[in-house]
Amino acid sequence: MKIEKSERIFSEAKEYIPGGVNSPVRAFKSVGGNPIFMKRGEGAYLVDVDDNKYIDYIGSWGPHIFGHNPDFIKEALHTAIEEGVSFGTPSEIEVKMAKLITSMVPSVEMVRMVNSGTEATMSAVRLARGYTKKDKFIKFEGCYHGHADYFLIKAGSGALTFGVPTSPGVTPGNAKDTLIADYNSIESVKKVISENKNQIAAVIIEPAAGNMGVVTADIEFLRGLREICNEEGIILIFDEVMTGFRVAQGGVQEVTGIRADLTTFGKIIGGGLPVGAYGGRREIMEYISPSGPIYQAGTLSGNPLAMSAGFAALSKIKDDTGLYKKLEEISKNLELGIRDNLKKLGLNYCINRIGSMLCLFFTEEKVIDFKSALTSDTEKFGRYFHHMLESGIYLPPAQFEAYFISSEHSEEDISKTIEANYNALKAVH
């Protein structure tokens, strides 16, 4: 595959942008090689600066459930742009957006728009702390909630119940209030709560994880979380930045029937533009400034341009009653095709999928948490990734990410992917 122009641009990029990219996971660090620079997205496809075309399973890391650049979002943007992109004042589209989100996610009675998933989760934890007047919160090993300091924490060594920073620049002061439990282990949650009685404001969780690869939460585990939070007066935050409007109109909450107190959103709700949101029970949300004392702000929050794209995307989801059935069919065909290949090659690898989020783990262990995910052979995954790339299939450039399937992935695209998957698996084993 000819990638001279991409290589040239990357060399220049590294002069002006740390690592040549504006978000680390794009840099191919964990798969080796240099990132490919794209110039166009259309439907299920990306086209790079050397005019190579790929079937895309990133979808901008989740937003493009209808594929890249659908006409209905372009039209919404063209209309909005004629009126202006941002006013710094309230505008009606923000009210329409808030009404639409609250009509689609029953647990969300009020919502605040922000500009990224990180802002949404950071604000939700601050809100829970302010509302409960408690300092600590629980997150789960392997879940990613964005890059706010208090999320960049991992489990401390054995005796420690509080976490330790995963990044320089995150202070021990920040880490001490972040408690770490194990995904799908209600026992680990009970242990952390018993060791920090009456000090915990919130539990935040990806109710189906997409940042350690795809790992679904056992329904009994989620039910146990809900019960414990009720008993202990702890705010349950579902981080649905990735799963919101992805796995169902009402996210994992609709799939499981388990309601969060606060929910965070991102990705799909911006239709590809920078949008995040957090929302939930009215009596909690009213603590947010200016109706309450807890401060949170944003220059471009709710800007009409981003709202027009997000509103178009969510309206389409609300109207398109066949969307999730179509996504399930496409995604199941891909999963079955890969399973068939694994069987033919005598490989017993784990595939986890929830709706149109899927991950093939290079391990024969059943992946139910971060520890089991880490048994994957990342070196082999790296070589597999590049074989797929050479075959024109663009996968997430890291083992511990989710493939995102769109309504635009055709039967032919899925067949090509399955064929490339077979050849790539064969080549690396």
Beta carbon nearer to ligand KE4, 118 or 188 = 118
Q: Are 314 and 73 in contact (CB under 8 A)?
A: no
Least Å distance between CB 322 and ligand KE4? Answer: 26
Q: Which residue has the tokens 């997150």?
A: 139
Q: Which residue of 9, 13, 25, 205 would you call a contact of ligand KE4, by CB under 6 A? A: 25
Pairing of strands 153-154, 393-394: unpaired
Piece in contact with ligand KE4 (CB under 6 A), picked from 67-75, 102-110, 188-196, 204-212: 204-212
What is the per-residue DSSP string for 6-62? HHHHHHHHHHHSGGGSSSGGGG-TTT-S-PPPEEEEEBTEEEETT--EEEES-GGGT
Q: Nearest to residue 354, comparing CAs of 239, 204, 214? A: 214
Beta carbon nearer to ligand KE4, 342 or 397 = 397
Piece in contact with ligand KE4 (CB under 6 A), picked from 113-121, 253-261, 336-344, 386-394: 113-121
Beta carbon nearer to ligand KE4, 61 or 403 = 61
Beta carbon nearer to ligand KE4, 341 or 385 = 385
Burial of 89 per CB tally in 10 Å (0-12, 13-18, 19+): exposed
d(CA 363, CA 390): 23
d(CA 303, CA 282): 23
What kind and span of H or E run contains 159?
none
d(CA 220, CA 209): 16
Piece in contact with ligand KE4 (CB under 6 A), picked from 73-81, 115-123, 126-134, 185-193: 115-123
Q: Which residue of 121, 249, 303, 417 would you call a contact of ligand KE4, by CB under 6 A? A: 121
16 is catalytic: no
- The active-site residue out of 182, 239, 369, 413 is 239
Q: Per rule CB under 6 A, is residue 117 in the interface with ligand KE4?
A: yes
261 is catalytic: no
Q: Are 204 and 125 in contact (CB under 8 A)?
A: yes
User: Which residues within the stretch 249-308 sit at the binding site for ligand KE4 (CB under 6 A)?
Assistant: 266, 276
Backbone angles phi, psi at 343, to 5 degrees: -65, -45
Q: Per rule CB under 6 A, is residue 206 in the interface with ligand KE4?
A: yes
Q: Which residue of 239, 254, 369, 408 would you call a contact of ligand KE4, by CB under 6 A? A: 239
Q: Per rule CB under 6 A, is residue 406 in the interface with ligand KE4?
A: no
- The active-site residue out of 183, 267, 278, 413 is 267
Q: Per rule CB under 6 A, is residue 59 in the interface with ligand KE4?
A: no
267 is catalytic: yes
Q: Are 102 and 269 in contact (CB under 8 A)?
A: no
Backbone angles phi, psi at 242, to 5 degrees: -95, -40
Least Å distance between CB 211 and ligand KE4? Answer: 5
Backbone angles phi, psi at 206, to 5 degrees: -80, 110
Q: Per rule CB under 6 A, is residue 245 in the interface with ligand KE4?
A: no
Beta carbon nearer to ligand KE4, 70 or 274 = 274
Strand order in the sheet with 350-354: 350-354, 357-361, 403-404
Residues for the chain: how many in total? 429
Beta carbon nearer to ligand KE4, 196 or 399 = 399
d(CA 351, CA 214): 8
Q: Which residue of 241, 252, 258, 309 would you call a contact of ligand KE4, by CB under 6 A? A: 241
- Binding residues vs ligand KE4 (CB under 6 A): 23, 25, 61, 116-118, 121, 144-146, 206, 210-211, 239, 241-242, 266, 276, 401
